[in-house]
Amino acid sequence: MHAPNFALCDTEFAGYSPNSVEPEIVTEIMPGGRYHADFLRYLDIIAEYASAVTADSGELIPVIFRPFHENNGSWFWWGADHCTAYEYKELFRYTILYLQKEKGIHNFLYAYSPNGPFADEAEYLSRYPGDDFIDIIGFDMYHDRPSASDKWMDTLTATCRQVCAIARDRHKAAAVTEVMVAGTAMPDEEDLKTFNADRPFLFAIYDETDNTVLFLGAVGQL
């Protein structure tokens, strides 16, 4: 979810402003804040969509909802430089509780996805809102300046294993929620273990100890 900066957008939430980090608004969209009503209207639109996502049978379709991602970075208004860990957790929890209790949305699976890699589990969980609010333990990871000989894929694999372990301990699903290698230089083939010759940008990351797939993902090229 790339929510707009509610201090800057119009009443239709037009334009793209999640990267507009000034003014800081996390506390201002919570109850009592000057943009709280705007935030609720935005969540109401999301709830309306969630209620309309149905199969031909009329049954609601599960949807993965990933609000306020890459929260440990500084490039979004909900990032670590623009709100405290406490404020972030409160925002995340409030969002979910509003959708569930006020709007009756129960077909969302909620994903948590800071930006990798992580020094340790404590860093990964530093803004985690709690097991009661999360269904999917994930992470985003980009490689902006690849070279043929770098070890980024090794770091990605290690991060996958690290996040898998956290998810396993908490009985959650694990996911790579965003991943990309930019540019034209791709990692060496032995690092990728491609599984579809017609679409070589798809890759699998294996646990070589028992040959099980940890993650399936896609490496895009710009």
Residues with catalytic annotation? 70, 178
Residue 130 and residue 38: Cα distance in Å, rounded? 26
163 within 8 A of 138, measured Cβ to Cβ = yes
Report the b/e string of 154-176 with b at 16+ CB within 10 A: eebbebbebbbebbeeeebebbb
Collect all residues with Cβ–Cβ distance below 8 Å to 65 and sequence separation of at least 6: 1, 46, 50, 108, 109, 110, 111
- Residue 64 CA to residue 48 CA, distance in Å, equals 15
202-207 and 212-218: which strand pairing? antiparallel
